[in-house]
């Protein structure tokens, strides 16, 4: 804990030195409507306490870099983030690829900065003693997935089922068990587990299990990056300013995200300009699995 606090305070000191220059930079741009504060949320983190715990250091560093007060605005789900953006209740959102295409479609959220995730692809794992070697053998079986509409823990695994000739609505029973999927698989309550590869590795590690005991029988392609989006109500010049500063000081921002062990999926990540077309593959998956209404 002391080491985390030391890192946090070090980040604050170094980022604080940038404030004056950043303010001068934006004053040289075209006239913009500068807000007095920005409200920030993360689509898969519920509650103020969790946001503070997992992104408190990030919020503080971003506040220093932008020289604007940042407040947390918790949302109950990624779907709730859309009306929050539309109503001006939240200004900046960190979203997964699946959540992004929904926020873009429903709230016209503007992507500014993508944050890569190494090992970000879907896997389906089973018990080694199950005799299951392929997805087609999951017909009539129960599959634990993480959360409805989650990119790696629902949307793409469903595409893998379809590609194997299975109807996810009738050929298998999908259970959304959050982070309890590995436990359910171990107990025999489900026959397979669908997660991101990094989530699968963490679940094994936390339970003291091995890949030999719970082998992967299917793996999807690398998925698009998570993305920071901003409200389309924010002045375009200021949106660009936010994105430029986040990229310029990405090392400090990434370090602040990693202060929380809950964000280990961002180990080795980097930030880059977000490109909307990179998420077309997710839009195609939504259509392929019959959930196109989410992005209309």
Per-residue pLDDT tens digits for 231-275: 999 999 999 999 999 999 999 999 999 999 999 999 999 999 999
Residues 42, 72: one domain? yes
207 lies in some domain: yes
Residues 180, 47: one domain? no
User: Averaged over 219-233, what is the pLDDT?
Assistant: 96
- The predicted-structure confidence for 19-42, as pLDDT tens digits, reads as follows 445 544 554 455 456 788 999 999
Neighbouring residues of 131: CB distance < 8 A, sequence distance ≥ 6: 137
CATH number at residue 254: 3.40.190.10
* 292: pLDDT strictly greater than 60: yes
* 2: pLDDT strictly greater than 70: no
Residues 46, 114: one domain? yes
Residues 67, 110: one domain? yes
96 lies in some domain: yes
181 lies in some domain: yes
User: Averaged over 195-223, what is the pLDDT?
Assistant: 96
Closest residue by Cα to residue 150 from 98, 82, 225: 98
- The predicted-structure confidence for 70-113, as pLDDT tens digits, reads as follows 999 999 887 889 999 999 999 999 999 999 999 999 999 999 99
Residues 170, 154: one domain? yes
Q: Tell me, what's the pLDDT at 78?
A: 78
* 199: pLDDT strictly greater than 70: yes
DSSP secondary structure code for residue 136 in this structure: G
Residues 105, 146: one domain? no
Residue 118 CA to chain centroid, in angstroms?
12
Domain that holds residue 205: 122-219
78 lies in some domain: yes
Domain count, the chain: 2
Residues 215, 239: one domain? no
Q: Which element (helix H / strand E) includes 175?
A: strand 173-176
Q: Tell me, what's the pLDDT at 9?
A: 46
Residues 249, 114: one domain? yes
* Mean pLDDT of the chain, nearest integer: 89
138 lies in some domain: yes
* 8: pLDDT strictly greater than 60: no
């Amino acid at each position: 804990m002391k080491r985390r606090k030391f890192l946090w305070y070090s980040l604050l000191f170094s980022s604080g030195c940038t404030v004056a220059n950043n303010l001068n930079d934006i004053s040289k741009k075209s006239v913009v409507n500068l807000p007095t504060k920005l409200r920030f949320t993360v689509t898969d983190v519920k509650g103020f306490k969790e946001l503070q715990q997992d992104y408190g250091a990030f919020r503080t560093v971003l506040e220093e870099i932008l020289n604007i007060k940042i407040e947390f605005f918790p949302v109950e789900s990624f779907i709730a983030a859309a009306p929050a953006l539309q109503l001006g209740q939240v200004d900046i959102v960190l979203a997964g690829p699946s959540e992004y295409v929904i926020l873009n479609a429903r709230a016209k959220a503007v992507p500014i900065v993508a944050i890569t995730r190494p090992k970000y692809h879907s896997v389906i794992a089973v018990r080694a003693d199950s005799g299951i070697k392929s997805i087609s053998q999951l017909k009539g079986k129960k599959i634990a997935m993480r959360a409805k509409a989650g990119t790696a823990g629902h949307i793409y695994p469903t595409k893998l089922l379809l590609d194997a000739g299975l109807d996810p609505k009738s050929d298998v029973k999908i259970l959304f068990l959050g982070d309890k999927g590995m436990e359910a698989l171990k107990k025999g309550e489900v026959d397979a587990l669908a997660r991101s590869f990094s989530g699968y590795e963490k679940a094994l590690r936390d339970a003291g299990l091995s890949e030999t005991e719970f082998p992967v029988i299917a793996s999807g392609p690398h998925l698009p990056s998570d993305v920071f989006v901003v409200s389309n109500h924010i002045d375009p010049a200021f949106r660009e300013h936010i994105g430029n500063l986040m990229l310029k000081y990405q090392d400090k921002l990434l370090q602040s995200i990693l202060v929380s062990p809950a964000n280990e999926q961002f180990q080795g990540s980097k930030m880059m300009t977000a490109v909307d077309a990179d998420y077309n593959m997710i839009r195609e998956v939504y259509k392929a699995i019959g959930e196109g209404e989410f992005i209309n």
